[in-house]
Amino acid sequence: MAEHAIVVENLVKRYGDFEAVRGISFRVKRGEIFAFLGPNGAGKTTTVHVLTTLLKPTSGKAVVAGHDVVDEPMEVRKRIGIVFQDPSLDRELTAYENMYIHGRIYGLKGSELKEKIEHLLKFVELWEFKDKPVKTFSGGMQRRLEIARSLLHEPEVLFLDEPTIGLDPQTRAHIWDYIRAMKEEHNMTIFLTTHYMDEAEQLADRIAIIDHGKIIAEGTAEELKKLVGNDVVYLKLDAPEELKCLRAEFIRGCKILADGRVALEVENAAEALPRLFELVAEKGIKILEVTYHRPTLNDVFLHLTGREIRDEGAENPMAAFVRMRMRR
Amino acid sequence: MEALTTMAYRQLKRFARAKSRVAGMIINPLLWLVFFGMGWSKVFDNSMARTVFGGVDYLTFLAPGIFAMTVFNQSFVAGVSVIWDKQFGFLKEVLVAPASRKESILGRIIGDSLVTLTQGAIILALTFPLAENLKPSGFIPALGVGFLLAMAFSGFGVSLALRMESMEGFQMIMMVLMLPLTFLSGAIYPIDTMPDWMKALAYVNPLTYAVDGARHFLVGASVAKFSLGVDLGVLTVLAAVLVGLAMAEFERATIG
């Protein structure tokens, strides 16, 4: 088995004049959770559709689970599972029937299929609702059913396109638990797209930040945050101006702000704080206020693009509206 | 084969779920049969009219036509319902599956045809007590004719739905197609007494051959216009072509 579950080289997808994906390259290792983080319209879903053989790329190469998506789409389809951004269930049928039909199409049958359906519906806690039509399900229940369905044929690589979009915080946390359990129990490779920073940070081993069809940064959450700089501790000290800039080997920079507070750059604020307390105690200085700031992925995005990732609604109110309509 | 049987199974399951809708679908042809058919049957209750209708009473003449009309209508609607799968996303689930797409859509068309045929069979069964001269032995063979017709128009509906983005245009197409095709099929009056230009249209109307074929089995060769071979031949070729087109179209289908 190859080391990489997904290899993408210089992938381009164009619709007429519009270039949705503009030459991206990345690799996803087996057994890792890889997140595509970016605003709506960044090209995340288009990439997923190319990798899952539903769209033909304009140029470039993509190999998923050892097979080229253009040359051997059937081989790829056998080895992947996908939860689409928009629901893709048969609403008239029951949860069980949806699972059963999926299993049959993927070549499962008999007692093996029955056992797997039962196991997975119990895994996502829908077994007691198995005979209810899907149209009576809440958004979160539908999502869980789709996750169960995508696991039925034991895919090598699982694609989750915005798995928690439109769900309430509790349900989101619940879905995250399932995703972690899938990785741990099945050592599955998971490719996930999201525009929620917390989701990428909570789940992903590595994150690629994508904007306007290009990958603008890639790495672990910690690595990405380093791009922005250090943690900053803000102190309000009861001390004369010249004593405010504390000196120690763990303090990398110091600035006195207009309001009189002092901003200290440190590598890790959590570890620096106790040492700072000791330091000021030694000097007999009193601390009046302490706050600190650690760079977030949002800061990283802001740093790289000059925009906030959450801003896409404000930047283009129509986009959010159109998405709502499409998801209906 | 798995994809074919599974998709056929899905269509039958959905049908079984929607019993109330089934009743609604049967009402329209029943209105035709009862009000239109029984209304005119008294007008045509004389020997001269009987000659025009091939020597049988009007309801007997009309019954195969209503049967074919029902199958034609419902199979077209069923085929076009692929558009709901597009909108509710189930289509993606099929497109991303490692199964033959040709088989999947063929399975769906067969499933839809069986559903349609069930509705046609109910209508046909209800006409037997009303029409005097229908042959019970023709019931099953007439369903065979109906199946060919259903396959053809389910296939046509699927092709159409794959090109459409919404249901809105579909109502128009229904209106434009359904009534003229029914009028020009010899279902409610014979083709022989039509003006020549209408006759020409009737000859190119596929529904004509389904009505005629059903009449062969349900009433008798003397009432039919074409030979049974022509009727079945035309329907078989038509079904093969339209289903083939739907399969080719589905094979190429992408999303977005």
Q: Are A206 and A34 in contact (CB under 8 A)?
A: yes
Are β-strands A231-238 and A286-293 bridged in parallel, bridged antiparallel, or unpaired?
antiparallel
Query: Which whole number is the average pLDDT over B163-176?
Result: 78
pLDDT of residue A312: 45
Contacts of A268-274 with C-beta under 8 Å, sequence gap 24+, read A268/A231, A269/A231, A269/A232, A269/A233, A269/A293, A269/A294, A272/A231, A272/A233, A273/A233
Indicate the residue of A46, A54, A93 with minimum beta-carbon distance to B92: A54
Each residue's pLDDT tens digit, A228-256:
888 888 888 888 877 778 888 888 888 88
pLDDT of residue A307: 76
Cβ partners under 8 Å of residue A222, min gap 6 = none
CA dihedral B73, B77, B80, B85 (to 10 degrees): -160
Cβ partners under 8 Å of residue B81, min gap 6 = B112, B157, B161
Cβ partners under 8 Å of residue B200, min gap 6 = none
B55: pLDDT strictly greater than 90: no
Cβ partners under 8 Å of residue A115, min gap 6 = none
Best residue in A18, A56, A75, A92 to probe B by mutation, most B CBs within 10 Å?
A: A92
Closest CA to B108 of B29, B145, B161: B161
Contact B92 A105 (CB under 8 A): no
Closest CA to B6 of A103, A147, A150, A155: A103
**Residue found under tokens 């890889």:** A34
Q: Output the CA torsion sign for B171, B174, B176, B180.
A: negative
Cβ partners under 8 Å of residue A113, min gap 6 = A100, A103, A104
Q: How far is CA A291 from CA A236, A294, A302, in A?
A: 9, 10, 21
Best residue in A18, A72, A105 to probe B by mutation, most B CBs within 10 Å?
A: A105
DSSP A39: -
Best residue in A64, A84, A86, A88 to probe B by mutation, most B CBs within 10 Å?
A: A88
Q: Which residues of chain A have pLDDT under 70?
A: 1, 310-328
Closest CA to B29 of B146, B107, B108, B111: B146
Are β-strands A4-15 and A59-64 bridged in parallel, bridged antiparallel, or unpaired?
antiparallel
Contact B89 A55 (CB under 8 A): no
**Burial of A238 (C-beta count, 10 Å sphere; 0-12/13-18/19+):** exposed
Q: Output the CA torsion sign for A79, A85, A86, A91.
A: positive
Q: Within 10 A of B220 (CB to CB), how many other CB atoms are there?
A: 16
Query: Which whole number is the average pLDDT over B199-207?
Result: 95
Question: Which chain B residues touch A88 with a CB distance below 8 Å?
Answer: 88-93
Question: Which chain B residues touch A46 with a CB distance below 8 Å?
Answer: 256
DSSP A134: G
pLDDT of residue A314: 39
Q: How many residues does chain A have?
A: 328
pLDDT of residue A320: 43
Class of the A4-225 domain? alpha beta
Closest CA to A96 of A78, A123, A114, A82: A114
Q: Are B104 and B7 in contact (CB under 8 A)?
A: yes
Give the distance from residue A97's alpha carbon to the nearest chain B alpha carbon, in angstroms. 9
Answer left, alpha or beta for residue B198, where phi above 0 means left and psi between -120 and 50 means alpha.
alpha
Indicate the residue of B6, B90, B98 with minimum beta-carbon distance to A104: B6
Question: What is d(CA B202, CA B207) in angstroms, rounded to the nearest whole number?
Answer: 8
Indicate the residue of B5, B89, B254 with minimum beta-carbon distance to A84: B89
Contact A93 B255 (CB under 8 A): no
pLDDT of residue A185: 84
Contact A55 B255 (CB under 8 A): yes
Chain B residues bordering chain A (beta-carbon distance below 8 Å): 2-3, 5-7, 9-10, 13-14, 17-18, 88-99, 104, 254-256
Q: Are A97 and A166 in contact (CB under 8 A)?
A: no
Question: What is d(CA A78, CA B172) in angstroms, rounded to the nearest whole number?
Answer: 41
Cα angle for residues B10, B15, B21 (degrees, 5° grid): 150
Question: Which chain B residues touch A162 with a CB distance below 8 Å?
Answer: none
pLDDT of residue A310: 63
Cα angle for residues B46, B51, B54 (degrees, 5° grid): 125
End-to-end CA distance of chain A: 41
CB pairs under 8 A between A and B: 75
Query: What CATH number does the domain located at A230-293 have?
Result: 3.30.70
Contact B97 A53 (CB under 8 A): no
A86 in helix, strand or coil? coil
Q: Are A208 and A218 in contact (CB under 8 A)?
A: yes
Best residue in B90, B108, B251, B255 to probe A by mutation, most A CBs within 10 Å?
A: B90
Give the distance from residue A1's alpha carbon to the nearest chain B alpha carbon, in angstroms. 21
Structure token digits, residue A53: 């053989």
Each residue's pLDDT tens digit, A184-211:
888 899 999 999 999 999 999 999 999 9
Contact B94 A105 (CB under 8 A): yes
Domain parsing of chain A, residue ranges = 4-225, 230-293
Give the distance from residue B254's alpha carbon to the nearest chain A alpha carbon, in angstroms. 6
Question: Which chain B residues touch A78 with a CB distance below 8 Å?
Answer: 98
Each residue's pLDDT tens digit, B1-16:
889 999 999 999 998 8
Share of residues in chain B with pLDDT > 70 (%): 100
Indicate the residue of A52, A55, A88 with minimum beta-carbon distance to B89: A88
Each residue's pLDDT tens digit, B96-142:
999 999 999 999 999 999 999 999 999 999 999 988 889 999 999 99
Question: Which chain A residues touch B88 with a CB distance below 8 Å?
Answer: 87-91
Question: Which chain B residues touch A133 with a CB distance below 8 Å?
Answer: 17
pLDDT of residue A182: 87
B211: pLDDT strictly greater than 90: yes
Question: What is d(CA A260, CA A172) in angstroms, rounded to the nearest whole number?
Answer: 41
Q: Are A210 and A38 in contact (CB under 8 A)?
A: yes
Q: Are B19 and B118 in contact (CB under 8 A)?
A: no
Please name every residue paired with A63 in a beta bridge, in sequence order, or none if there are none.
A7, A68
Indicate the residue of A54, A74, A93 with minimum beta-carbon distance to B95: A54
Q: Which residue has the higher pLDDT, A149 or B52?
A: A149
Domain parsing of chain B, residue ranges = 2-252
Q: Are A106 and A152 in contact (CB under 8 A)?
A: yes
Phi/psi at B140 (nearest 5 deg)? Answer: -65, -50
Contact B88 A90 (CB under 8 A): yes
What is the three-state SS of chain B? Answer: CHHHHHHHHHHHHHHHHCHHHHHHHHHHHHHHHHHHHHHHHHHCCCHHHHHHCCCCCHHHHHHHHHHHHHHHHHHHHHHHCHHHHHHHCHHHHHHCCCCCHHHHHHHHHHHHHHHHHHHHHHHHHHHCCCCCCCCHHHHHHHHHHHHHHHHHHHHHHHHHHHHCCCCHHHHHHHHHHHHHHHHCCCCCCCCCCCCHHHHHHHHHCHHHHHHHHHHHHHCCHHHCCCCHHHHHHHHHHHHHHHHHHHHHHHHHCCCC
Which residues of chain A from 135 to 194 reach within 8 Å of chain B, CB to CB?
none
Give the distance from residue B9's alpha carbon to the nearest chain A alpha carbon, in angstroms. 8
Question: Which chain A residues touch B254 with a CB distance below 8 Å?
Answer: 54-56
